[in-house]
Structure 1
Amino acid sequence: MRNFRTYAYLRASTKEQDAGRAKNALLRFANDHDLVISAFFAENESGATLQRPELFRLLEIAQKGDVVLVEQIDRISRLKDDDWDSLKSIIKAKGLRVVSLDLPTSHQFAVVNDEFTGRMLSAINDLMLDMLAAIARKDYEDRRRRQKEGIIKARSEGRYRGRPIDIELQQKVEGMLSDKKSYDYIQHILGCSRSTISKVSKKLKLNNLKP
C-alpha cells in the first residue's frame, strides 16, 4: 500500500496561454503508473522567476516522499543557477520526488518503495534534473536574445509596431467594467491579465473625462 501522494503542477508563461493544456497528459501518465493525483496546481507565471504562488503552495502542502508530477522540467524551472539551487534545496529538504514526463529516469519514482533503490534513483535523477534545468534556462535566454534582436532589426527598418491590440478582448473588458464587475471576476471569465484590465479601465476613465 502506497503511503505518498501525487501532486500535479501545471504552468504557462502568460495569461493568454492555457496552463491546463497538459492536464490530460498527466492524467494518462498517472493512470498508466497506478497513481492517483491528489490535486492540481496551475498558474500563469514565468518559469524564470521564483515568484510562483501555486508552486510554493504545492511545496508547502506536500510531505516527505510525495511526488511532484510535471509535463516537462521547464514547467518547474527556467531559473538562473542560484535560483534553481534555492528551489532544488527546498524540494530535497522536504524529501519530495520530482517525476517529469520528459525525464524517463524519474518515472521509477512512481513505483519504487525500498530505500536503497530510491537513493540510487535519486542520485541519477538529480544529475538529470540539473542538466534539463540548465538546458531550459539556455533555451529561455536564447529565445529572449532572438526576440530582442528581432525587435532591434524591425525598429531599424521601421517595421516594429509592438504587440497588436486585441480589440475584441478590450471590448469585452469594457463591457464588464461598465457592469461593475470586479477585476478577479473579469480575469476568471476572460483569462486576461490584471494589467490589461487596468489599461482598459484607465482608457474608460479618460474617455469619460473628455467633454
Structure 2
Amino acid sequence: MYIRAYLRASTEDQDASRARDQLTGFAKDQSRNIASYYMENVSGAKTERPELRRLLNDAQPGDVLLVEAIDRLSRLPREDWKQLRAEIEIKGLRVVAVDLPTSHQGMKDTTGDEFTARMLDAINGMMLDMMAAIARKDYEDRRHRQAQGIVKAKEQGIYKGRPKDAAKRKKIAELLADGKTVRKVADYIKCSTSTVQDVKKNGI
C-alpha cells in the first residue's frame, strides 16, 4: 500500500503545497509515510488535471489517494464526478480525506479481510458522493455570488475585471514565438489553454 497525496489550489496565486505538512502529519499519526506528492494549480471543477492524471496512472490497487478535503479532489458536476470515481474504483484506490473521519479507516491494511474491506468501501463511497455533491454546490453558489457582484459593479461603473498577469503573458508569448504548441505552453506555464489562446490572439 502506497499513500499518494494530492494537493490542489484553484488559482496560480494560491499555494498548492499549503496542506503538505498537514497531510504528512496525518499520515504519520496513522503510522504511514507518504510515498509521493502530486501538486497543481487548477480548478477542481475541471476534468483536465495533469497531476491528478499522473497520480491515477502511477497508482496500484490498494493504494491510498490522500487529500486534505474532498473539494480538493472534486468540485465536478455529477456526471464528471461519476466518471472520476469510476476511474478511482477501477484502479483499486481508496480515497482518504483528512476532513472526513469515516474515510480514515482506509489507511489500514485490510488484506485478507474481505468483509471489512467491502464494508469500508461501501460506507466511504456513500460519504464521498455526499461530500462531492456539497463541494459542487458550494462552487456553484460562489460562482453565482461572483456573477451577481460583477453585474452590480458594472451597473455602478466600477467593474474592471481581473488584472492580467503581465509577466506570465510575456513568458507565454516568448514560448509561442519559440514555436511551442498551445498545449505545451499551457502545461509548462501551468495555465489554461484559453489563456494561451488569448495571448496568441491578442498579444500581451
| TM bracket, shorter-chain basis | 0.7 to 0.9
Mapped partners of 1:56, 1:163: distance in 2: 29
Provide the residue aligned with 1:90 in structure 2: 87
Say which SS state the counterpart of residue 55 (structure 2) adopts: helix
Provide the residue aligned with 1:209 in structure 2: none
Say which SS state the counterpart of residue 10 (structure 1) adopts: strand
Structure index of larger Rg: 1
Matched positions, count: 192
Identity over aligned pairs, percent:
53
Provide the residue aligned with 1:208 in structure 2: none
- 1:1-211 aligned at under 5 Å gives the runs 4-113=1-110, 114-164=113-163, 170=167, 193=191, 195=195, 199=199, 202-203=203-204
1:165 positional shift: 5.1
Compute the RMSD of aligned alpha carbons.
2.8
CA contact (8 A) 2:150 2:159 kept: yes
The C-alpha deviation readout for 1:83-118, integer Å capped at 9, x for no partner, is 000000011111110000011011011124222111
1:121 positional shift: 1.1
Unmatched 5+ stretches in structure 1: 204-211
1:157 positional shift: 1.1
Mapped partners of 2:61, 2:191: distance in 1: 35
CA contact (8 A) 1:16 1:192 kept: no
Q: Which runs of 4+ in 1 moved over 3 A?
A: 191-196
1:65 positional shift: 0.6
CA contact (8 A) 1:10 1:40 kept: yes
Mapped partners of 2:13, 2:50: distance in 1: 18
CA contact (8 A) 1:74 1:133 kept: yes
Mapped partners of 1:126, 1:162: distance in 2: 40
CA contact (8 A) 1:30 1:37 kept: yes
Mapped partners of 1:48, 1:24: distance in 2: 25
CA contact (8 A) 1:48 1:78 kept: yes
Q: State the AA in 1 paired with 2:162.
A: R
Q: State the AA in 2 paired with 1:100.
A: A
Q: State the AA in 2 paired with 1:125.
A: N
Q: State the AA in 1 paired with 2:203.
A: K
TM-score for both structures, normalised by structure 1:
0.80
The C-alpha deviation readout for 1:138-165, integer Å capped at 9, x for no partner, is 0000000100010001101111111245
